């Protein structure tokens, strides 16, 4: 494997588990760069070819195809590096919403070195479904307002995304309770991610 892969932590869990909330909070701290594939997709020009393709899949509650996802992701990340917003030599990359299946894990091996998987593990889907419905009202996300589409996203997660946890070794995966206030969940996540950041910075300084 090449040595210049991006050091990454995956934020993983069912829809509505709080990956974006935690990623945004951590991304405000120096040394972390939050990358949400959902935010990237929503930022696409809706009239562009890629924007139309992504919208067609998201409106059906389906995953965007791997090749299209990775291409959009890599192009966006390269732009962040060029603009000096993401500095791979000193920032941990926090990935939210990608990889979403085992095939994406395999493709991303050439780009990232996964140091930890933070699994926001909920015992029941129902609190997460309610979160998504609330978010639809607060943020005006039409794809989050239809409960039938929401539940289809959970089915897709179980079928296609959950196997991602089996791709990585158990010692990389840390289960975190996603229920409670965002600050309470953040405190749990920080207990896991701070040692990872320390090891990352030590390895960079030694290199």
Beta strand 32-36 pairing with 6-13? unpaired
CA distance 37 to 7: 17
pTM over 0.75? The answer is yes
C-alpha dihedral sign at 103, 106, 110, 112: positive
CA distance 57 to 89: 35
Q: Which two tokens stand for residue 163?
A: 């196997």
CA distance 47 to 183: 38
CA distance 8 to 195: 14
Residue corresponding to tokens 């892969």: 5
pLDDT in tens, the chain (207 residues): 346 899 999 999 999 999 999 999 999 999 999 999 888 888 888 888 888 888 888 777 777 888 888 989 998 999 999 999 999 999 999 999 899 899 999 999 999 999 999 999 988 889 899 888 888 888 777 766 788 888 988 998 999 899 999 999 999 999 999 999 999 999 999 999 999 999 999 988 876
DSSP 171: G
Q: Which two tokens stand for residue 11?
A: 């934020």
Give the chain's count of helices (H) and strands (E): 9, 5
pLDDT of the residue at 207: 62
73-80 own/partner pairs: CB under 8 Å, 24+ apart: 73/35, 73/37, 73/40, 73/98, 74/111, 76/35, 76/40, 77/6, 77/35, 80/33, 80/35
| Residues in contact with 36: Cβ distance below 8 Å, sequence separation at least 6, in sequence order | 19, 20, 23, 24, 96, 97
Q: Which overall architecture, per CATH, does domain 6-198 show?
A: 3-Layer(aba) Sandwich (3.40)
Q: Degrees (nearest 5) of the Cα angle 23, 24, 27?
A: 85
Domains of the chain, residue spans = 6-198
| Residues in contact with 82: Cβ distance below 8 Å, sequence separation at least 6, in sequence order | none
């Amino acid at each position: 494997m090449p040595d210049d892969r991006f050091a990454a932590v995956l934020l993983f869990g069912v829809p509505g588990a709080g990956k974006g909330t935690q990623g945004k909070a951590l991304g405000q701290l120096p040394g972390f760069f939050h990358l949400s594939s959902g935010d990237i997709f929503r930022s696409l020009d809706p009239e562009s070819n890629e924007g139309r393709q992504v919208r067609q899949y998201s409106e059906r509650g389906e995953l965007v195809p791997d090749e299209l996802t990775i291409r959009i992701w890599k192009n966006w990340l390269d732009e962040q590096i060029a603009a000096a917003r993401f500095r791979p030599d000193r920032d941990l990359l926090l990935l939210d919403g990608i990889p979403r299946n085992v095939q994406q894990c395999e493709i991303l091996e050439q780009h990232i070195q996964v140091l930890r998987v933070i699994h926001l593990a909920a015992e029941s889907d129902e609190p997460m479904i309610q979160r998504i419905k609330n978010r639809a009202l607060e943020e005006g996300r039409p794809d989050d307002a239809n409960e039938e589409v929401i539940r289809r996203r959970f089915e897709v997660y179980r079928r296609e995304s959950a196997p991602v946890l089996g791709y990585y070794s158990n010692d990389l995966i840390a289960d975190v309770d996603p229920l409670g206030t965002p600050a309470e969940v953040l405190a749990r996540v920080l207990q896991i991610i701070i040692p990872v950041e320390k090891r990352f910075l030590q390895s960079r300084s030694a290199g």
